[in-house]
Structure 1
C-alpha cells in the first residue's frame, strides 16, 4: 500500500464502522487486514473512478503513440529497462515482442476495465526473463531430451 493509505484490522470496520470509515477522509485507501483471508482495500467510488480514468488515459496515450510513430516504439524499447529492469535478460527479439504485447494487452484490458490480464502478462514475461537469467535453468528448459518416458498416466488413476 502507498503512503496515502492506512491499515486497520477488518474487525475494526465491523465493530467501529463509523470511526473506521471516517479514516477514508484522511487517506485515499484503507487496507483491511484479515486473519483468515486475503487483505482487502476499501476506497470511495470517486477515488476508484479517478484511478481508472488515469490508468485508461495513460493506456490510450501509450497505445496511440506506439501506433503513430515508429520512433515511439524505439523510445519505448529504450525506457523498458528503466521500468522493468528484468528485460535486460531477454533476447533482443523478445524485448520487442514484450513491448508490443504490453501495449496490445493494456489496450485490450482497458476496453474491459480490468487489469488482471496485464498483471498476468507481466508476470509471465518476468518469469521468462528469470529463465534467461539462469544459464543452468535455460539449458534445462531448452535442451531437447531425446528420452521419451511414454505417456503420462492420469493422476486420478494412480494411487
Structure 2
C-alpha cells in the first residue's frame, strides 16, 4: 500500500488507530483544513528513503564522469522531464550537469529544496523557449536603459 490519506483530526482524536495504519502504508497524508498538509512516516522508512536518494545521487554523479554516462543521462532527460524538448541542446546538457550536482548536495545535507527549485527554474526556462512571443520579448534588446534596478525588498527613497 502506498499513501494513505486522512484528516489531521483523526490523528488527534484516534492516535493509536491512526499510527497502526502506518503498518500497512509507507506514509500517511494528513490533510489540514487551514494549513499545508503533513506526511507521517516511520523513522526507519525515512532513513530508507534518504539512503536510496543518496545512492541514486552518487550513481548519477559517477555516471556523469564518463562519456557513456553523460550520453545516457541526456538520452533519458526528455522521458523524465518532457519539457526539456523546448530547451536548446546546450541548455539540456547544462541542466543535466546542474541537476546531478544538486542531487549530490541534497543527499549530503538531507534537503531537496534546492533540487526542486532548480527543476522549477529550468521548467520555466523551457516555458519561455516554448512561447515564441515571450522568448522574443525577453531576448530582444530595445536599446533603452532604464537605469539601475534596486535590490529586492529595497523601498523607493522618499
CA distance, structure 2, for counterparts of residue 27 and residue 117 of structure 1: 28
Output aligned runs, 1:53-64, within 5 Å. 53-64=51-62
Kindly tell me the number of residue pairs found equivalent between the two proteins.
155
CA distance, structure 1, for counterparts of residue 140 and residue 48 of structure 2: 49
Give the secondary-structure state (helix, strand or coil) at the position aligned to 2:94: helix
Q: Unaligned stretches of 5+ in structure 1?
A: none
The two structures have a TM-score, normalised by structure 2, of 0.91
Output aligned runs, 1:135-150, within 5 Å. 135-150=132-147
Match of 1:72 among 60, 69, 89: 69
What displacement does 1:21 show?
Answer: 1.0
Residues 118 and 16 of structure 1, relative CA distance in 2, 3 Å threshold: same
Most deviating of 149-158 and 24-33:
149-158
Match of 1:10 in 2: 8
Match of 1:130 among 89, 111, 127: 127
Q: CA RMSD in A?
A: 1.7
Q: Unaligned stretches of 5+ in structure 2?
A: none
Residue 90 in 1 paired to residue 87 in 2?
A: yes
CA distance, structure 2, for counterparts of residue 152 and residue 119 of structure 1: 27
The runs of at least 4 consecutive aligned structure 1 residues that moved more than 2 Å come to 145-158
The two structures have a TM-score, normalised by structure 1, of 0.90
